[in-house]
Structure 1
Amino acid sequence: MNLGPVVQDAGVRFSAWSPDATQLWLCLFDAADRETRWPMLRDAQGCWHVEVAGMGPGARYGLRADGPYDPAAGLWFDPGKLLLDPYAPAIDRPFVHDPLLAARRGEGGDTAPLMPKGVVTATLPPMPVAPPRFDPGGLIYEVQVRGLTMLHPDVPVAQRGTIAAIAHPAVIAHLRKLHVSAIELMPVNAWIDERHLGPIGLTNYWGYNPVSYFALDPRLAPGGLAELRGTVAALHEAGIGVILDMVYNHDGESDAQGTTLSLRGLDAKTYFRHAPDGQLINDTGTGNSIACNAPVVRRLILDSLRHFVVQAGVDGFRFDLGPALGRMADGFDPAAPLLQAMRADPLLADRIMIAEPWDIGPGGYQLGRFGDGWLEWNDRYRDDMRRFWRGDAGMTGAFATRLAGSSDIFGGQATRSVNFLAAHDGFTLADLTAYEHRHNHANGEDGRDGHGENFSWNNGVEGASDNPVIQAARRQDIMALLSTLFCSRGAIMLSAGDEFGRSQQGNNNAYAQDNAIGWVDWDGRDRAIEAHAFALAALRARTPELRDVAILSDADVDWLDEDGQPLSVAQWQDPARRRLALRYRVSGLILCVNGDATACRFHIDGRWLDAGGRSIVVIEGANPCGRPIAGNG
């Protein structure tokens, strides 16, 4: 039986799961927020139901649950707490944190005035099922929906910061110049601020604190699901897929001092993972961990994924703290029931599935273990490539391994790597070259939050600089990093704005910066870096060998030194070596990599190729004069 509200000819049927409750009520709210309660009836499986005749789309509602109150035993029943139906398809306003939402039973009063209400919606006609729009070796463009367009000069002011704004012709034109294969939207589901943010005047900007796995956040999608659907259609028309970043590892109700908003008030014992002593397990660092492989939770997650495929036509999903999806009593299992069900489901089996393959729990680092059908964020690529360009000794072999597809991690014939140098979590690409240390004081945590080790450098001055020599060195480094990314085997990912030098002023954890620090500065973009990114994107688009996901082998390429000779074992092992060339045997494409600060000349196939300090020069085989087609040398 379907959970949530189901619109029928005679009215609406509401269903919710809460096996330990002694009573559930459906709470309907009129235009003046007056509440009418309807007792629900329980069936033998622990589901509660009620049918309301004459009701249709637009009705606003919530749930109340009564039963034993024993938080230490995972029982949080409190009829004074209005609850969001986990299957509510929409909400009438965003969540706003209030301490009363976390008050214990009998202490805080009724929370209905503080709670967004679920909204009954008409089911949209199912989207035609089509193969995902995605090139396995293409570019994924990571976007925080609000930040992408808040400062975009061509997007109407009233539309900025919304999902609809991404469909603006100026935005799509930019994506096409980058040859974006799929855009990855950071969380768009309704979320709530962490409780420490309000008192210091900040809000959650990234959205990684969900309350609903179905309802979109009204701040991002004032037009609801139809807005997402329309943007997906516009991007599909441009040949661009859409990936949603989903957060199933925790919810916004946090720890034992947190709020009661939805899952906690209905069945915390089942929805959240608990230690033998009854304490909440916190493998996420957010206060709670969702029990993804409990049958009812598994159903919730699968229903949520299907919802966005059928109702919005999305092409795939990226999973925040992905090991949570496969956590069992004994740890992570790549054959966990949820992971198997996702790949067996007829609506989900062909979707793009991307894991962030780590969390902070025991055995939480699982890079390379998600198996066939999964792409994985490759932080080893991120760190090794940063260390090479920073100038760390002995990184040339690691550079080559990552460029070739990370065979040491993924094995087999094809890589499943999502190669990235920067993402929302960490420094921007430009800040890698301008800051050795994080500068997160604006977050109100005395600079303690965010990663401490970023493998970054500052080219002689920490932070912004007017010195043209330093500016040129930083631009050179950014271009080298971009060249590395676009010439790597496997899928590649670029965080929005990194293609033109976006800075967050050294903040490497801008989750609470819904302001100019976190927004993409379109007027301030570096046009030279942007032109370089466009040239690299065009090169990758017209070069099948660069988009191939087969791991490079000695049958595919020659690894050469500056004189065009095969690199010897001694050269590979030389910790001081920072130069190498890569020649594709079929096309003759050549990459000349100079990680040293001084310029050099490569002599390959009878041609002299000049490579400036800290640069990559790319030569296409059909270019006999040796002029760089794309590069920063």
Structure 2
Amino acid sequence: MIDRNRTSTVWLGKPYPLGATWDGKGVNFALFSEHAEKVELCLFEPKGRREFQRIPMPEQTGQIWHCYLPEARPGLLYGYRVYGKYAPLEGARFNHYKLLLDPYARAIVGPLHWSDTLFGYRIGHKKEDLSFDRRDSASHMPRCRVIDPAFSWGYDQPPQIPWQDTIIYELHVKGFTKLHPLIPSALRGTYAGLAAEPVINHLKKLGVTAVELMPVHAFIDERHLVDKGLRNYWGYSSIGYFAPESRYGYVDPVNEFKSLVKTLHRNDIEVILDVVYNHTAEGNQLGPTLAFRGIDNAAYYRLTGDHGARYYKDYTGCGNTLNMGHPRVLQMVMDSLRHWVTEMHVDGFRFDLASTLARETNDVDRRSPFFDIIHQDPVLSQVKLIAEPWDLAEGGYQVGNFPAGWAEWNDKYRDGVRAYWKGEEGLIDNLAYRLTGSSDLYGHSGRKPYSSINYLTAHDGFTLHDLVSYDGKHNEANLDDNRDGTDNNKSWNCGVEGPTHDPGVRSLRAKQKRNLLSTLFLSQGVPMLLAGDEMGRTQQGNNNAYCQDNALSWLDWDLRPEDRELSDFARKLIHLRKQHPVFRRRNFFQGRPISGADDKDILWLNPNGQEMNGNEWNQTYVRCLGVYLSGQAIAERDEQGQPIPDNDLLLLLNSYDGEIPFRLPEDETDACWYTAVNTAQPDALEWKCLAGENFVLQGRSLALLIKIGSKDDPAEP
């Protein structure tokens, strides 16, 4: 290890790979800065308090500053100071008084302590960011740590769940286990806690195939939140794209994250990361100087302004936008993605505000270099890629427009299904598209039903319980006078705002939750379930709990009987989806006989059991729909080339208040139907309903019937 009492031996080193790389003999340091005049590597004592040496980087190759320390070892703490012009009007914001994090750091340790010294300019100065601050920021900054990447992966293999079989579970690493009574208290809220046996048992019993982790890249709590006693709970404020967030670590966040992935893989569960490459935690021109801004502001960010390049283009609503048009910034993003796949073994990514990544100059471009590089990459092209297909600037809403190979969060599914079960009229045709994979959005350019990530709730917005319990948001706990969060929730409180002891309202809310979950898991596309929705989790009407790192956001594992019933119901739905391939089609319905089959692959029925005509589709008051799914006309084959058969299924939906007699379709076999799901009577299911008879579909309810034989030869369900 480096002797802190004498000068370190410094070799020239190499420009690649970027970051701090331990090769078994020493550590190579490499940092990109196009416009810097000088770069110093700063070394810190093991506890990180005192900077004991500054080493001028002796060599620059192709805008990469580099050196090699033969005496350095894993565990060494470091940072950088970068010298150059401080000329904000020209886009230059170098300030060597500020300690900077390595953008390629594999581990970042210690908290950030907010102080005016973290800013490159004088807070309160009349010239604002045009002024210059000479105070040292090191005592308030986290440190980068050199790691040994060795890890015993054993026989770890990615589960490689096919897209059509994927069921995503969005969760927060801390919030999921912080209150779990069966996990040791020291491990609650950590990567290790998430890998604990009670959690794995819950995920396996539920039946999900992938967890989508909210941001685990190193991030910070914004100053305005800390000043209010709040925190950035969600984590959409990244400052290190190669380092797992240390607050979720117990002892060693890097290896504990790897152990989490290994454990989930061993149980056939994939890991998808929610990643934030559209902006960083440094904010706008009045933000702190923590890394990118001080390393090379003009290279890392998109700059603009009437007075040169003082200001930042903000497509994200967070103050800045990473400059994906710069080859080194694009390289950083791709290197980060490959790092998480090859070194951390994750299985895919959900890209926050993904439209920003595809902006060329100003417009979103489907042919942008970002897409081209991913599609040709032999590693990244093989993992799951999910876009949040919008950003906050003009032209940013791009649902349905991402290239083949990408799936998208489908907010049209969310809003359409919510509105239907709320009772809005004129939505039958829209509902039909959402139930069948949204071919209006994805039925082109080689895209498939599984291009649609179907969801009803996510971290951003109401939970499922709150969706049926509140007409409006209640975000007072965020200390922003309830101004934050959307007002367009398409929610319905079922007659009373918030908690109630009224048995009628509680019963209706329970049924509405069953209706929504049933629709989600019986639709074509990839379902995504928000963690805790299957257990009745509430945020007390807060639809923007980004700053609530407390029991408001954490999952409560002390379940009421009605919550346990809902959890059992969700497990049943997921089991049904897995059991019946007709819900997991790889191709869109044709609405006509295909591959020699006599039956159409799908029929749309009215309550008389007849195929709907054009006039019925156009009648705005129609809110009852029957969907006949032919199991013999799937026209798809398994991996061995064998036909995939299934039962015929009948999905009935009624968002009216009153019951509707729905005539079961007649056929030559006098079919016998089994009621597999009835949200109005979840515990009282019939197994013998005959073709031509009326099935009484209760008000605001959904039913799924499975054809199991004829009346003369019924098969046991």
What TM-score, normalized to structure 2? 0.85
Residue 149 (structure 2) aligned to one of 119, 123, 135: 123
The equivalent position to 1:600 in structure 2, one of 632, 647, 660, is 660
Aligned to 1:622: 708
SS at match of 2:529: strand
Describe the SS at the equivalent of 2:80.
strand
Structure 2 residue 36 is the aligned partner of structure 1 residue 27:
no
2:118 paired residue among 101, 106, 115? 101
Q: How does 1:372-411 map to 2 (within 5 A)?
A: 372-411=404-443
User: Counterpart of 2:108?
Assistant: 91
CA displacement at 1:53 relative to structure 2: 2.2
Aligned-pair distance for 1:285?
0.4
Deviation at 1:293, TM superposition (A): 3.0
Q: Over residues 128-174 of structure 1, what are the superposed CA-to-partner deviations in whole Å (9 max), with x where a residue is unaligned?
A: 79555323132100011111111112211111111222222221122
Structure 1 163/38 Cα, relative in aligned 2: closer, same or farther at 3 Å? same
Higher relative contact order (CA 8 A, sep 6+): 1
2:166 equivalent to 1:80: no
Q: Counterpart in 1 of 2:614?
A: 569
**Residue identity in the other structure for 2:161:** F
Identity percentage of aligned residues: 42
In the aligned structure 1, how far is the partner of 2:180 from the partner of 2:438?
37
> Cα distance, 1:107 vs. partner?
3.0
Tell me, yes or no, if the aligned pair for 1:15 and 1:50 is still in contact at 8 Å.
Answer: yes
Amino acid in the other structure paired with 2:261? V
Task: Give distance in 1, aligned partners of 2:45 and 2:159.
Answer: 41
Distance 1:165 1:610, change over 3 A: farther
Partners of 1:499 and 1:465 in 2: how far apart? 20
Is the Cα–Cα contact under 8 Å of residues 170 and 530 in structure 2 kept in the other structure? yes
How far off its partner does 1:380 sit? 0.5
1:395 Cα deviation after fit: 0.8
Aligned residue for 1:219, secondary structure, equals helix
Task: Decide whether the 8 Å contact of 1:132 with 1:241 is kept in 2.
Answer: yes
Structure 2 CA distance for aligned equivalents of residues 608 and 295 of structure 1: 65
State the Cα distance separating 1:123 from its structure 2 match: 1.9
Q: How far did residue 332 of structure 1 move?
A: 0.9
Aligned to 2:547: 512
Cα offsets for 1:498-521 (capped at 9, x unmatched): 112211100000000111111111
Contact kept? 1:405, 1:549, Cα under 8 Å: no
In structure 1, what is the equivalent of residue 492 of structure 2? 457
CA contact (8 A) 1:96 1:193 kept: no
C-alpha displacement of 1:95: 3.2
Distance 1:246 1:469 in 2: 42
Residue 219 (str. 1) matches residue 247 (str. 2): yes
Q: In structure 1, how many angstroms separate the alpha carbons of the residues matched to 2:150 and 2:350? A: 24
| Residue of structure 1 equivalent to 2:466 | 431
Asked if the contact 1:129/1:310 (under 8 Å) is kept, the reply is no
Distance in 2, matches of 1:518 and 1:569, equals 46
- Pairwise CA distance, 1:99: 3.5
| Partner Cα separation in structure 1 for residue 557 and residue 117 of structure 2 | 40
* Aligned equivalent of 1:522, options 551, 557, 562: 557
Structure 1 range deviating more: 7-16 or 475-484: 7-16
CA contact (8 A) 1:132 1:351 kept: no
Residue matched to 1:47: 64
- 1:156-175 matches, within 5 Å, as 156-175=184-203
- Confirm or deny: 8 A CA contact 1:95 1:190 kept in the other structure: no
**1:441 lines up with 2:497 in the alignment:** no
Cross-structure match for 2:589: 552
Q: Which residue identity is paired with 1:269?
A: A
After TM superposition, the structure 1 stretch with the greater mean CA deviation from structure 2, 482-491 or 600-609, is 600-609
Alpha-carbon separation, structure 1, partners of 2:478 and 2:192: 29
Q: Residue 4 in 1 paired to residue 44 in 2? A: no
User: Contact 2:454–2:528 at 8 Å: present in 1 too?
Assistant: yes
**In 2: Cα distance, 1:618 partner to 1:559 partner:** 14
Contact between 2:167 and 2:208, CA under 8 Å: does it hold in 1? yes
Partner of 1:241: 270
Report the alpha carbon displacement of residue 362 of structure 1 after superposing the two structures with TM: 2.0
Q: Which residue of 2 aligns with 1:414?
A: 448
Q: Deviations over 1:267-321 (max 9, x none)?
A: 1101111125322011100000111231001110111111111111110000000
1:232 counterpart (261, 271, 274): 261
> 1:564 and 1:158 mapped to 2: Cα distance?
59
Taking the aligned partners of 2:24 and 2:653, their CA distance within structure 1 comes to 67
Q: Is the 8 Å Cα contact of residues 126 and 310 (structure 1) preserved in structure 2? A: no
Rounded to whole Å, the distance in 2 between the matches of 1:29 and 1:610 is 73
Provide closer, same or farther for how the CA distance between residues 109 and 614 of structure 1 changes in structure 2, counting only shifts above 3 A. same
Deviations 1:566-604 (A, max 9, x none): 112121111111111111122211111111112223221
197-206 or 321-330, larger mean C-alpha shift: 321-330
Q: How many residues align?
A: 629
Is the deviation greater in 134-143 or in 248-257? Answer: 134-143
Matches of 1:108 and 1:180, distance apart in 2: 53
Match of 2:29 among 4, 9, 14: 14
Does structure 2 conserve the Cα–Cα contact (< 8 Å) formed by 1:25 and 1:63?
yes
The one-letter code of the counterpart of 1:421 is: L
Residues 125 and 516 of structure 1: CA distance in aligned 2, closer, same or farther (over 3 Å): closer
1:206 aligns with 2:234: yes
Distance (whole Å) between structure 1 residues aligned to residue 183 and residue 621 of structure 2: 49
| Equivalent-residue separation in structure 2 for 1:599 and 1:265 (angstroms) | 66
| 1:190 corresponding residue in structure 2 | 218
Between 1:599-608 and 1:25-34, the stretch displaced more is: 599-608
CA shift at 1:206, angstroms? 0.3
Cα distance in 1 for residues equivalent to 2:156 and 2:378: 10
- Distance in 1 (alpha carbons) for counterparts of 2:160 and 2:196: 19
Q: Determine helix, strand or coil for the equivalent of 1:63.
A: strand
Cα deviation, 1:234-283, whole Å, max 9, x if unaligned, reads 11111110001110000000011101100011011011111253220111
The code of the aligned residue for 1:527 comes to R
1:153 to 175, 181, 190: 181
Taking the aligned partners of 2:219 and 2:462, their CA distance within structure 1 comes to 24
**Alpha-carbon separation, structure 2, partners of 1:94 and 1:610:** 61
Deviations 1:594-630 (A, max 9, x none): 1111222322132432322211111122276899x99
Per-residue deviation, residues 453-495 of structure 1 (Å, max 9, x unmatched): 1111111111111111111111110110000000110111011
Structure 1 residue 537 and structure 2 residue 574: aligned?
yes
Distance 1:244 1:612, change over 3 A: same
What's the counterpart of residue 206 of structure 2?
178
Give the secondary-structure state (helix, strand or coil) at the position aligned to 1:226: helix
Indicate the residue corresponding to 2:298 in structure 1: 269
Structure 2 residue ranges without an equivalent (≥5):
1-15, 123-131, 593-600, 633-646, 666-690
- Structure 1 contact 132–352 (Cα < 8 Å) conserved: no
Distance 1:88 1:325 in 2: 22
Q: TM-score, normalised to structure 1's length?
A: 0.96
Structure 2 residue identity aligned to 1:113: S
Partner amino acid for 1:592?
Answer: L
Q: Are 1:71 and 2:76 counterparts?
A: no
SS in 1 for 2:518: helix
Q: Read off the aligned partner of 2:108 and give its amino acid letter.
A: I
Runs of at least 5 residues in structure 1 that lack an aligned partner in the other structure: none
